[in-house]
Chains A and B, each alone.
Chain A
Amino acid sequence: MTNPAPAAPADAPRTQRPREQPVIEVMRPKTTTSPSATPTAADEARVAVRIRGLNAWYGDFQALQEIDLDILHARVTALIGPSGCGKSTFLRWLNRMNDLVPTARATGTVDLHGRDLLSRAMDVVELRQHVGMVFQKPNPFPKSIYDNIAFGPRLHRRIPRRELDALVERSLRQAALWDEVKDRLKRSALGLSGGQQQRLCIARALAVEPELILMDEPCSALDPKSTARIEELIRELRQTYTIVIVTHNMQQAARVSDVTAFFCEGRLVESGLTDTIFTQPAHEETENYISGRFG
């Protein structure tokens, strides 16, 4: 790629890390090193989350090393890589779910609208209203379908019944589930099929109107047909939401994502336009991984 490396947005206050710059150059090829080396299609997209120098540990084990990545607004970013490479850890730092792990800690900056998500002052509860999450295994609450969707909005304020009804319908429509469940909103969500449950979880995340949706292998527990529906849904949601998706399925990453980031052993090996990554990977490790020679 011929893109010049230091094309950082002019207004970005890059106060930190003059010292660490060389380290990254050693670690990765220049073309993919710079977070701003994002592909042309994404050039006009603004950056939703800017991650700089993210290190993460579980106890003494370092799970992430010096991650620099820009997550683009209204785009789907796929995180790929072999198991244990830290992509889920990365994802779970974006909404601080790792706070639940007693030994987990992280350094660096994760910048969302000029606020550092990792800072102590960050209100995690408020953060999670802006950054929704969909888990690997569908985890509908043991409540009715309606109450599942209404759970999030109800947490934050008292909502009149009519408004809530509208919100539930809108969320279910967005998640392409409305037609299937509109007659049984009061029935238990546990009675839905796996694919429906996962779409319910997506609808539930949408109901709090987040800016960013994190998906941790959302299709790994689903059959191909349900997977196809979820992928279709992700493509639709891309228009309004910023989505980060962790996946083990290379085809899925190729199908749904605009940007792909390849993780290996806690490092971000390469990131760029999905087409580029899959056709002309700049790094040998990436090529080996996506061609199935390892991982």
Chain B
Amino acid sequence: MTDRRRMIRTIKNRGFVVVCVAATSVSIAALAVLLFAVVKQGTKHLIGFDRAGVTADRAPQPPDEFTDLADVDWPALAASLETPALATLTDMPWRRLGRAQSFEYADEIIDVDWPAAADTLAWPELATLGTVDWDRALEVMTVPGFGRIAATWRNSEIGQFVTSPPSRRPERAGIGPSLAGTIWICAVCGLVALPLGVGTAIFLEEYRPKPRWARAAHAFVQLNISNLAGVPSIVYGIIGLTAFVQMFDVLGTPNDPWFTLGTPDAWYYLQVPFGRGVLAGGLTLMLVILPIVIVSAQEALRAVPDSLRQGSLALGSTRWQTIRRMTLPSAIPGIMTGSILAMSRAIGEAAPVLIICGIVFIRFLPQNVMDEFTALPLQIYDWAGRPQEDFHRVAASGILVLLAVLLTFNAIAIVIRQRFQKAMP
């Protein structure tokens, strides 16, 4: 009897270990498969993608942006291609043409219906451009203004992918604007969420009220913040749309703002309501991660032993001095780790940003916090949804870049934690 029970006990004990090991192995295997798949798909685009005909000769890169066409030395090009008609393009109203949607990208210059464009713009010479060998022209055209380093970086495959704007052609497609957009909104998000979240956490954790009603209110707020951490992020997108983009329509509309500071091309341009810009996107992401930042900062503060607080208070420090000199320094590693993990969640968040900016095609980097933007997850989503298989590889490359950004963030978190913990020998 006792032997049997002992055996059962042993089996249960061993079985438990087996289950744990199995679960761990499965998750590690899943992670490995995931990484393998992404890397396999992604590297096809980044490295060794067959770009014959496009990048056969790395040196002169064709311009990516149709506005770049305005900068092309057309007479020189005309001479090199022995096509005098090209010289006329110097006076071409490229930007107007772009706006007229004759073509969206430089490489579409090939497909432009030149006779029709000549009609639209009342410029008969344009009709002759239909005979130009545009494929060759694209290879020879160089865009002035790039430094050598920039050119080298841009010409490497990864560099090109990371810096160049999206394109209709998968082999040309890059994530420049979406990477920049992600960095912008995450900067806004972090700059707002960190002080706000840590401040709230300090208030909730360190300033416990005495009256009974205040304690009830305190508990209510605490409960709600914990609940907010579980709200689906798309809900925050809607909040961001009404609160930041439109401001409940009480302060004019985004196109007819109630308040503006500077002009739209100034770096400090500001308008109220914010419109579908970087600021609205960043603030919406801030809403998403704020509860996470608060909760993790609270936990970090709670982990600071009470004896330290009491020791500090017993020396005659005020509550603020205790927080500033004792509690906060001790909690910084935990707060930073939690906040940076929350930031990595913000980087990967697609749903709320989708509601703010939509799937837009943007070839420019944001210049101020009111500029339109797009984000990495959205760009990846866009590519993954296209029918061409080549774009799926581009999407995988985008995922690799996203992972690299995430890993960088987590590495920063680890470094900060180590540094603060090692601050004391």
Contacts and interface: CB of A to CB of B under 8 A. Distances in A.
A100 B316 contact: no
A100 B315 contact: no
| Interface size, A (range) | 20 to 34
Given A142-B330, A187-B425, A190-B424, A97 B312 contact: no
Contact of B315 (A143, A187, A208): A208
Interface stretch (A7-15, A37-45, A151-159, A259-267): A151-159
A95 interface: yes
B208 A126 contact: no
Interface string B206-236: 0011100001000000000000000000000
A128 B424 contact: no
B120 interface: no
B307 A137 contact: yes
Given A141-B308, A188-B425, A208 B215 contact: no
Given A155-B321, A156-B316, A142 B310 contact: no
A204 interface: yes
A34 B325 CA distance: 45
B318 interface: yes
Contacts of A137: 307
B315 A142 contact: no
A141 B312 contact: yes
Nearest to A133: B314
Nearest to A148: B311
B317 A125 contact: yes
A151 B308 CA distance: 12
Contacts of A135: 307, 310-311, 314
Given A125-B318, A128-B314, A204-B315, A139 B424 contact: no
A143 B305 contact: no
Interface in B297-346: 305, 307-308, 310-318, 321, 325-326, 330
16 contacts: A97-B310, A100-B310, A100-B313, A102-B210, A102-B215, A125-B316, A125-B317, A126-B316, A128-B316, A137-B307, A141-B312, A144-B424, A151-B312, A155-B315, A155-B325, A205-B314
Interface of A: 95, 97, 100, 102, 125-129, 132-133, 135, 137, 139, 141-144, 151-152, 155-156, 187-188, 190-191, 201, 204-205, 208
Given A125-B317, A141-B311, 14 more contacts: A97-B313, A100-B313, A102-B208, A102-B215, A125-B318, A126-B316, A127-B316, A135-B310, A141-B308, A142-B330, A143-B424, A156-B316, A187-B425, A208-B316
